[in-house]
Every structure is written in C-alpha cells, then in structure tokens.
Amino acid sequence: MTKIYLAIIFCILSTNIFSQNLTIEKKVNELLKKMTLEEKIGQLNQYNDDNTATGPPTIDNNKADQIKKGQVGSLLNCLGVERTRSWQELAMQSRLKIPLLFGQDVIHGYKTTFPIPLAESCSWDLEAMEQSARIAAIEASASGIHWTFAPMVDIARDPRWGRVMEGAGEDTYLGALIAKVRVKGFQGNKLGETNSIMACAKHFAAYGAAMGGRDYNSVDMSDRMLYETYLPPFKAAVDAGVATLMNSFNDINGIPATGNKKLQREILKGKWNFKGFVVSDWGSIGEMINHGTVKNEYEAALSAITAGSDMDMESRCYKNNLAQLVKEKKVDIQLVDDAVKRILTKKFELGLFDDPFKYCSKDREIKELNNPEHAKIARNISSKSIVLLKNENNTLPLSKNTKSIAFIGPLVKPLLQNKGFWDVELPGVDSNFIVSQWEGLQNKVGNSCKILYAKGCEIEGTDKSGFDEAIKIANESEIIILSIGERRDLSGEAKSRSNIVIPGVQVELFVALKKLGKPIVVLINAGRPLIFNEIADNADAILYTWWLGSEAGNAIADVLFGDYNPSAKLTITFPRSVGQIPIYYNHLNTGRPANSDDNHIYNSSYLDLSIYPKYEFGFGKSYTTFDYSQLKLSKHKIKKQEELEVSMWIKNTGNYDGEEIVQLYIRDKVASVSRPVLELKDFQKVFLKKGESKLLKFKIDKEKLSFFNSDLKWVTEPGEFEIMMGASSKDIRLKDNFELMD
Ligand code: NOJ
C-alpha cells in the first residue's frame, strides 16, 4: 500500500516538475521569437560593474545605455541591493524587459567569510561544507546576487599554483564529493527559492594542471589523465544539477579550453547532457588571439560559439562580431539560439521574469548580513579545518590554568588577512566583525592569563629590529605562540610562487625564539602548502591554520585550548622541497620504484633529495589516539555485480573525545594500464568518546574498482585488489586482499 502511495506522489511530483519545465521551455521559445539578433547577442554578453576587477577591466562608459537597449545579459562584481536594483531598473526599460543576472565570486563566503576552500576540504566534513555554501548563498542572495562563480573543482597537484587555495586538493574521489555538496549548498532546494543562487563549476577543464604551477599556463596531458583525474569533479557537479560552468584560460594539448569543442559540445553538452550554460572566463574568448589559434576577435567569437561557450565574460568579442558572423552564415543562428535559450531558461528558473527585484529586499539584506547564527557556524567549520601537524610531548591543548603566554608574530593582530584571497569587499561594511587571532585568545582566557604581544617582524622584508622585544616578552612567559605565514594575497588568482617558503625573516624569528628553550607552538597561516622544514623539525607543536575567515581568532583559540579537538587531515601533499613538485599520493609505481631514500641503485629517486613528502595526503593529528583493528572482508572473492563489505573496529585509546577520519584505499595490482599505488575510495569521519569503540562498515562496488582503459572505456577488469585502511595515505593500519572475478 505504502509503495502505491509513494508511486502516486512520485508521479504527481514528476508531472509537476515536468510541466514546469515544459512551461519554461514554452516561455523561452515564445520570448526568443520576439527577439532581434542584437537582443539575442545581448543575452550572451556579460560586463564587469565598476566595483572590482578580477581581470584587465574594459573601460565602458556606455553600459547603462546598452542595458536599456537589451544589449547586456549579465553583470559581475555588482554588490548590494541598491546597486543591483538600480541596474535592474535600467534593464526593465529595455524593449523586452529581460532581467539581468548578477554574478559574483562568492568563493568562501559573502559577508561571513568561511575558511578558504582548500582548508575546508581538510575537514572532510561534507555536511559542514554544504552548510557553509548554503550560508554564503543566503547572504549573497539577500544582497542582490543570483549567481556565484563557485565551486572551483579543479584538481591541483602543484602548490606553486596560487589557486590551490580555491579547490578541494589533489584527490579526485574526494574532490567529486565536495563538488557535489558545494553545488547543493549554493543552489539549495531548487533555483527559484529566494535564498538559492546558481553555482558555477569551474574551470572547465584541467586548469589546475598548469605547467610549472604558473597561472594561466598551458596544460599538456593524456586523455586518460583528463578523464580519470580532472573531469570527474565536473561530472559530479553536473549530476548534482549545477546551473552553469565556466571554461578555463588554459589551452589543453594546444586547444584553448574556451574554443574547445570536444570538451564543451561533445563531453559536457553531449555525453553528460548538461542543460545549463557555459560562461567564458574573464576575457578568455579574446585571449585566444594570444594563444595563436585565431587571428582576430571575429575568429575568436566564431571559435568560442562553435565550441559551446555561451556567455562572453568581458571580452566583447560576441557583441562586436556575432551579428556579422551570423549574417555571413559563418555561424548558424541555431547556435546563438541555443546559447540564448540556455541563459533565458536559468533566468526563468530563478523566477526573475516574475519578479526581477526578487533578490533586492533591503530588509532581508540587513537581516541576513547580520545574522549571528552565521558566525557560530563559521566558527565551527573553521575549527574543523585546522590541521594539527605536530604535537611533541602533548604541548597542546594548552591548560586553562596557563598563567602567561607570549603571542608573537605579524599575523596575530591583523583582521583582514584572516579572510584569505577571495573575500568580498562590501561597500559600507567595516572589518571589525572579523575576530583577529589576538581577540580570539583574549575571548578565550579573559583575565585569567597574561597575554603579551610582540609583532617580531613583518610578513616580508629583512627587518629584524622587532626580534629583541619578541625575545623579551617570550622570556617573561610560560609558553610562546608564534603566528606566521604568507600574506593572504600571496595565494589566489595570478599568485604563483616559485619558492614556496615562509617569506621574510619569520623563520629566523622562530629560530631566535626556539633558543630560549620554552615550549613553542607555531600557527602557520597560508593559502597553499608551504615548505618550512626548520620549523617542522624543531617546533613543539604546529597548527596549519590556512585562512579561516571571519571567525579565525575564535576557532584557533578553541583548538589551542582543546575546546575543539583537531580532526582535519590534509587533502594535498606537503612537499619538503620545491624540487619534488609535482608530488601527490596516488602516483604510479614505475618499473623501478624506490622504497627508501638511501638506495639509489638505478631506481626512481633523487640523489640529493628525499622522494617522500614532508606531510602526506590524509595526514593530520588529534589530541587523542585511535586504534584500528579487526579488518574483515565479507568475502575474498567477489563477482562484478556483487558488493564487498569491509568492516573494522576503531577505538579512541587516548585521553580526549575526538573525531577520526578513517580512509579506505585500494590498489588494483594488475591491470591493462598501470594503476596508482593507492587510490582513496571511501572514508568515514567518526566521533568517539574517550575509550569508546565503534564498528565501521564500508561498501566496495564495481564502480569503485573501475577505471578508463587505454581506449578511454570505463572498464572493470578482474584480478587481485588490495584494501588498505589508513589514518593517512602513508599510515596504513590494516590491509587485506580480495579477488574480483569475471
Ligand atoms: C577570473 C577567474 O579565473 C575566475 O575564476 C573568476 O570567476 C573570474 N575572473 C571572475 O572574477
């Protein structure tokens, strides 16, 4: 009976959705019939507002007029209900009153800034990541924004590339799961609800594999690598219903992504049946001239529209050339119509035709940008993103009876630094709501502990004149906390670095303080993995705090004093030297694998450098300890259609309650193409009280054992597999084998 009811409800719901889609389709077609070619091209045209520019801005004093003539479909970098409303009013003066779309880089929060995405990914907490995207959407939508250019789902294996900060790290499996929850978070239940904004999976594709870690650089990779490592997070975003994609600046094997028909038409809109639209990256249509694949803007527009780039961000190539291309029959009008329909469909789905000012309520803006709940949630995910890299002699957590602390370093007092690269500068909002690290510590200990401060040095530069003061206050205190790192804008777009060490004299400051013989806890603030071997080897405790956002200070204090027991684990490998890059955990074995640093007899190693990272993928400590035991496979031989159940016990054997991220890796021992030495295929984040044990169960199915063969076919090959349960990709605690049969 229940089944029948469910079936009826399902039918009613799907008929509703179906008829809603049909109505939108009809409305789009009717509108399209009324549009002139100029108005159609207008919909494909996106301009920057004057607020901020994330690329070379084009000066255009004529925007208002163009909007009134229906020649602009979207604006980016336009913030707040007043400003968006005033542009939308102009669009309402156009002949067909087609509303504008307002897009913005809401990458790690809007007013409430969350940890940078790479930091958040280290929480491995999918629910929390969905929630942070949700809150970003609630705030942005309340402030006039319809569309965020996030999530960035580029797999990144090179920490010299400044944009590693913006993604979910190096692993495809985890990256795809995170892509999905971030899309769900931004888009909410469905587009059309006033607190949902469109997400944009970017940068399609392989932008993260820029050669030498230099932003915008070329990418040269095999199709197998593209399919297996770089595309799955995009596919996951599409499957999760992402409304838009952005293509990328780079060329792939010589073809710019923006003019890449295979990527956009064959794979994305063909095989994956993507129904949303693709926006170019900033000026990337015109940049194809620099790539040398087109002669001029006319050819650039032809290449981009043919390849499936629907909206032109800021290059004006469509605006200035598409009409001519259509008239000269170089571009079939159907290509233009298809792009226009995709964009109009989203405007209908958002409900902008019913109410173009739907996202422009001042009351809602005031309410949501001042919602105290958002800060609480940000504090929680910030604590979950801090990685404990070292904790000698249980230096941490600090006792609440600590009587004196020397809090030293150039990152103790700044506010804005904590926000990381992609913060949104809201007009009229000052930065006092950000909790500095200094304030966070004060909030935590009140008057019960004397906290002394010295800056010690700047983030960059050679000036050591502040060292003496730092040493003086350190001598007067029980413990030293040193907060150092990069500037927040040393990672991000166009922020590639060749030597990813901690800048300036900050390491020298550490060395000087270490000599005092007091316990020293180092907080490292950065947007990428840095190299800091001297500190790694000599500090008593290290917390990698990344950029945590507006609640940074409180979250750091929570972890320092054990109100939150750190649980984060690295989602990107930390090299010990730039010479090791690219370095990532799921590499192939090679014909001559090296298995130690001391043996260089014709194997794949360096004579002058270890082959091992400083901190491996999946690594991160806790204040407590966990014991893994009793690994059990439901079978040791399975057929392709069968599922394997993997179970194990985990016990909290230490002195604190805490969470562990238990990682399941496989190795396909023999296959038609060489397989990685380790592949993450599942994980569980589990909370255990002190002394508590739990039975964990995982499922392995055919999908998890499949891969792209040399003909780019997704295949499942029979043979032997190894299962490894680890606390990191190196710290494998339990192992077993099973056979997959035909
Ligand atoms: C260029 C960046 O590559 C892209 O990620 C961003 O969304 C656009 N600029 C718009 O700001």
Q: Is the beta carbon of 84 within 6 A of some atom in ligand 1?
A: no
**How many angstroms does the Cα of residue 287 sit away from the middle of ligand 1?**
14
Q: Beta strands 251-252 and 693-700: pairing type?
A: unpaired
Q: How far is the CA of 108 from the centre of ligand 1 (A)?
A: 14
83-92 pLDDT tens trace: 999 999 999 9
Rg, C-alpha atoms of the chain: 27
* Two structure tokens written together for 210: 């820029």
Ligand 1 centroid distance, CA of 202 (Å): 9
Residue 36 burial (CB count, 10 A): 12
Share of the chain above pLDDT 70, in %: 96
Per-residue pLDDT band for 10 (boundaries 50, 70, 90) equals low
Residues 6+ apart with CB under 8 A from 263: 204, 205, 247, 252, 257, 307
Residue 428 is predicted with a pLDDT of 83
Question: Could you tell me the distance, in angstroms and rounded to a whole number, from the CA of residue 54 to the centre of ligand 1?
Answer: 6
Sign of CA dihedral 111, 112, 116, 120: negative
pLDDT confidence of 432, banded at 50, 70, 90?
confident
**282-294, pLDDT tens digit by residue?**
999 999 999 999 9
Q: Is 239 inside a domain boundary?
A: no
Q: Are residues 544 and 397 in the same domain?
A: yes
Task: Looking at the structure, tell me whether residues 435 and 566 fall in a common domain.
Answer: yes
Ligand 1 touching residue 281 (CB < 6 A): yes
Q: Which two tokens stand for residue 634?
A: 């439901």
Residues 572 and 446 in one domain: yes
- Check residue 431 and give its pLDDT: 85
| pLDDT given for residue 194 in this prediction | 96
Q: Is the CB of 314 under 6 A from ligand 1?
A: no
- Ligand 1 neighbour 54 (Cβ under 6 A): yes
Q: Are 169 and 156 a contacting pair, CB within 8 Å?
A: yes
Do 636 and 731 have their domain in common? yes
- Residue 4 — pLDDT band, cuts 50, 70, 90? low
pLDDT digits (tens, 9 = 90+) for 138-163: 999 999 999 999 999 999 999 999 99
373 part of a folded domain: no
Atom of ligand 1 nearest to the CA of 166: 5
**Is the model's pLDDT at 490 over the cut of 70?**
yes
Domain interval for residue 656: 626-741
Residue 11 has pLDDT above 80, yes or no: no
The answer on 551 and 463 residing in a single domain is yes
Asked if 580 contacts 611 with a C-beta cutoff of 8 angstroms, the reply is: yes
User: Does pLDDT of 24 surpass 80?
Assistant: yes
The token pair at 60 is: 């255009």
In the numeric block, the tokens 């084009």 are attached to 58
In a domain, 315, yes or no: no
55 lines ligand 1 (CB under 6 A): yes
Q: pLDDT band at residue 20, thresholds of 50, 70 and 90?
A: low
Structure confidence at residue 662 as a pLDDT band (50, 70, 90): very high
Q: Are strands 74-76 and 45-48 parallel, antiparallel or unpaired?
A: parallel
Residue 253 domain-assigned?
no
- pLDDT at 556 > cutoff 70: yes
User: Is any ligand 1 atom within 6 A of the Cβ of residue 519?
Assistant: no
Q: Does position 360 have pLDDT exceeding 60, yes or no? A: yes
Which residue puts its alpha carbon closest to atom 11 of ligand 1?
54
Region 483-505 average pLDDT: 98
pTM: 0.97
DSSP state of 226: I
Burial class (CB in 10 A: 0-12, 13-18, 19+), 317: buried
Q: How many domains does the chain have?
A: 3
Helix (H) or strand (E) holding 291: helix 288-291
Span 585-601, average pLDDT: 95
Same domain for 445 and 551, yes or no, is: yes
Say if residue 68's pLDDT is above 80.
yes
Is 88 contained in some domain?
A: no
Residue 544: CATH number of its domain:
3.40.50.1700
Could you tell me if the CB of 149 is within 6 A of ligand 1?
yes
Tell me: do 419 and 504 sit in the same domain: yes
pLDDT given for residue 17 in this prediction = 52
Residue 737 contacts residue 636 (beta carbons within 8 Å): yes
Q: What is the CATH classification number for the domain harbouring 683?
A: 2.60.40.10
d(CA 197, CA 100): 14
Residue 13 has pLDDT above 60, yes or no: no
pLDDT digits (tens, 9 = 90+) for 33-46: 999 999 999 999 99
Cα of 282 from ligand 1 centre, angstroms: 6
In one-letter notation, the amino acid at residue 736 is D
Task: Work out the mean pLDDT of the chain and round it to a whole number.
Answer: 96
Do 511 and 657 share a domain, yes or no? no
Other C-beta atoms within 10 Å of 630: how many? Answer: 10
**pLDDT tops 70 at residue 383:** yes
- Could you tell me if residue 724 is inside a domain? yes
Quote helix, strand, coil % in the chain, to nearest 5: 35, 20, 45
* Torsion angle of C-alpha atoms 81, 84, 85, 89, degrees rounded to 10: 180
Question: By alpha-carbon position, which residue is closest to atom 4 of ligand 1?
Answer: 281
Ligand 1 atom at shortest distance from the alpha carbon of 200: 7
Last residue of a domain, one of 542, 563, 580: 580
Residues 564 and 451 in one domain: yes
Residue 16's pLDDT band, with cuts at 50, 70 and 90, is low
Same domain as 650, residue 559? no
Q: Write out the catalytic residue numbers.
A: 281
In angstroms, the CA 219 to CA 222 distance is 10
Q: Which of 519, 554, 580 is the last residue of a domain?
A: 580
Q: Which of these three, 550, 580, 610, is where a domain ends?
A: 580
